[in-house]
Amino acid sequence: MNLLENIRVVLVEPIFGGNVGSVCRAMNNNGITDLAIVNPRPEFDWDDARKLSCNAKEQLEARKEYATLADAVAGCTVVAGTSARTGFYRDTAYSPKEFAPIGLESAQDQKIALVFGREDKGLFNEELALCTHIIQIPSSELYTSLNLSHAVYVCCYEMFSAAGIFQPSEETAQEADSAFRERMFAVWREMMIETEFTHDQKLDHMMMGLRRIFTRGKLTVPDCKILMGLAKQTLWVTNQWRNEQEKKNH
């Protein structure tokens, strides 16, 4: 049972088709697929919606339509309305991050709704009245007006993140062990001497610097092989050069 299937995104009287299309992508990116639209306007631009939904067209076509918000959320326990404004009974608000674990807990065995208002006027008081939670999206005081699909994106993103499904890519290569690292550093040391890069006195200091640079993150076996190969090649070139010089001198 996938938690995210229990999350319904409800758009109340959206104005712009493009926004609704972008909303479909935002939902799909975050594994949320249940879209409800309340009272779509007769002049609504479905072509624009389809265009902006890109590969999330299926979801746009699978939308449910309702005459009222009450109908759209009737089967939902938690109903979270988004609001940019504070004030009259909007004082107890949650950030999307704060709301995510609350919503997910209910979504384990019940349907929940994330409700978004009109692009220009948001949700009306009688619509907020149906909500059990108010979500206020963090924004700069200087510019609080969010694009509808951005608002949906960030709420879905926090639900998806809190569900703990996604893990960023991790290094799969084996980390080099000390013995292998030290063989590599030994070649670098030799290279620094042979190329006459450092004085004897400075050699240890330079080596310590290199060790810090190379081991600041995890140094893998392939990384070590590249570094070893580079130093060995440099030693080879250096020896060629020395031989040439000796020939000249004789």
Task: Scan residues 73-102 and list those touching its own copies (CB under 8 A).
Answer: 73-79, 86, 88-95, 97-99, 101-102
Reduced to 3 states, what is the DSSP secondary structure of residue 223? Answer: helix
User: Under the phi-then-psi rule, with left for phi > 0, alpha for psi from -120 to 50, and beta for the rest, what region is 196?
Assistant: left
The residue count for binding its own copies (CB under 8 A) is 85
113 or 231, CB closer to its own copies? 113
136 or 234, CB closer to its own copies? 136
State the minimum distance, in angstroms, from the CB of residue 41 to its own copies.
20
State the minimum distance, in angstroms, from the CB of residue 247 to its own copies.
39
155 binds its own copies, rule: CB under 8 A: no
Strand order in the sheet with 133-135: 64-66, 34-38, 7-12, 112-116, 79-82, 133-135, 93-94
Give residues 37-66 in contact with its own copies (rule: CB under 8 A). 54-56
| Cα gap 194→127, rounded to integer Å | 78
List of residues 6+ apart from 137 with CB closer than 8 A = 82, 84, 95, 96, 146, 151, 154, 155
Going residue by residue from 200 to 239, which x/- string records binding to its own copies, judged by CB under 8 A? -------xxx-xx--xxxxx--------------------
Contact of 206 with 198, CB cutoff 8 Å: yes
| Cα gap 3→103, rounded to integer Å | 10
Q: Which of 39, 63, 66, 157 binds its own copies (CB under 8 A)?
A: 157
| Cα gap 16→143, rounded to integer Å | 21
State the minimum distance, in angstroms, from the CB of residue 165 to its own copies.
8
Q: Which of 42, 43, 143, 199 binds its own copies (CB under 8 A)?
A: 143
Q: Which of 1, 42, 67, 140 binds its own copies (CB under 8 A)?
A: 140
Six token digits for residue 119: 């692009």
Give residues 116-135 in contact with its own copies (rule: CB under 8 A). 125, 129-133
